[in-house]
């Protein structure tokens, strides 16, 4: 199967601070990118997406930035809350129908 | 239904036995996906169904793994002669049309433990 990475990087932030989670994607032909949040024992939950013709997209408290030159994606979470503690995954679409290929994930831990 | 439903939520089996995992996608969604997630790791693509097209089986790790989708709705993932390395969470997802810019909606997964 296709997947990226074996070990989960971690990010620890203080409640109220901003968080930045980074992701390097693999395929320069990918045209759609998406961030998911996964809490323990649950399936991944959609956060925000972006198409390759954009470099920034904002949602509620979240912003996704896309840098196609260096194949880099980031998720910014403003005023991080304890409820944001989870594993965050980026995913890309290689233009092969709806199939998403996921990155390795980053564990976000928010200290109260 | 309101969301993607998977059953069972937990399955414990003995090495060498066959298992079947079930997925009910969101009503009206034509595309269905299976992923595998080993402990502390990312999601590994297994197989993808889109409408009446031939499924994309490129992620199936061995011929012990197979999946069906009957009537364009419910899907069953079958693992024959299970091995300990098959232990993982198996996640199912669906999307409306299987287009390249659609988000996938995931179920809560089936935790498979092979003893």
Among B85, B86, B47, CA closest to A97: B47
Judged on CB neighbours under 10 Å (0-12, 13-18, 19+), A33 is buried
What is d(CA B100, CA A94) in angstroms, rounded to the nearest whole number?
A: 8
Q: Mean pLDDT throughout B5-30? A: 97
Checking DSSP bridges between strand A106-111 and strand A10-14, what pairing results, if any? parallel
Residues of B (69-108) whose Cβ lies below 8 Å from A: 91, 93, 95, 97-108
Q: Mean pLDDT throughout B14-26? A: 98
Cα A4 to Cα A20, A91, B2, B10: the distances in Å are 20, 10, 31, 26
| Bond from prior residue into A57 cis (ω within 30 degrees of 0) | no
The values of phi and psi at residue A57, to 5°, are: -150, 135
What is d(CA B26, CA B3) in angstroms, rounded to the nearest whole number?
A: 5
Element (H, E) at A102: strand A101-102
Strand partners, A111: A14
CB contacts of A88 in chain B (<8 Å) are none
- pLDDT for the residue A7: 60
CB contacts of B33 in chain A (<8 Å) are 98-100
Cα A96 to Cα A64, B36, B39, B62, B98: the distances in Å are 22, 19, 27, 22, 9
pLDDT at B24 over 60: yes
- Name every residue in A having a CB less than 8 A away from some CB of B: 1-8, 31-32, 34, 36, 41-46, 49, 51, 89, 91, 93, 95-105
- pLDDT for the residue A6: 46
Residues of chain A with pLDDT under 50: 1-6
pLDDT band at B52 (very low <50, low <70, confident <90, very high): confident
Which of A7, A54, A99 would best serve as a mutation to test chain B binding (most B beta carbons within 10 A)? A99
The residue among B39 and A43 whose pLDDT is bigger is A43
Q: Mean pLDDT throughout B65-87? A: 95
Residues of B (33-72) whose Cβ lies below 8 Å from A: 33, 35-36, 40-46, 48, 50, 56, 58-61
pLDDT band at B55 (very low <50, low <70, confident <90, very high): very high
């Amino acid at each position: 199967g296709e997947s990226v990475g074996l070990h989960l990087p971690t990010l620890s932030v203080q409640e109220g601070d901003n968080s930045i989670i980074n992701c390097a994607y693999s395929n320069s032909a990918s045209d759609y990118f998406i961030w998911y949040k996964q809490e323990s024992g649950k399936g991944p939950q959609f956060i925000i997406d972006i198409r390759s013709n954009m470099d920034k997209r904002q949602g509620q408290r979240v912003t996704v930035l896309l840098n196609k030159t260096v194949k880099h994606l980031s998720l910014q979470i403003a005023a991080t809350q304890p409820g944001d503690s989870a594993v965050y995954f980026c995913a890309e679409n290689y233009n092969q129908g709806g199939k998403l290929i996921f990155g390795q994930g980053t564990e976000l831990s928010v200290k109260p | 239904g309101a969301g993607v439903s998977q059953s069972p939520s937990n399955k414990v089996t003995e090495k060498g036995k066959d298992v079947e995992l079930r997925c009910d996608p969101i009503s009206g969604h034509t595309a269905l996906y299976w992923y595998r997630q080993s402990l502390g790791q990312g999601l590994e693509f297994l197989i993808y169904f889109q409408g009446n097209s031939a499924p994309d089986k490129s992620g199936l790790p061995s011929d012990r793994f197979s999946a069906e989708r009957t009537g364009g709705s419910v899907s069953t993932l079958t693992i024959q002669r299970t091995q300990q390395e098959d232990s993982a969470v198996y996640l199912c997802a669906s999307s409306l049309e299987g287009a390249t810019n659609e988000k996938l909606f995931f179920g809560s997964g089936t935790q498979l433990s092979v003893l």
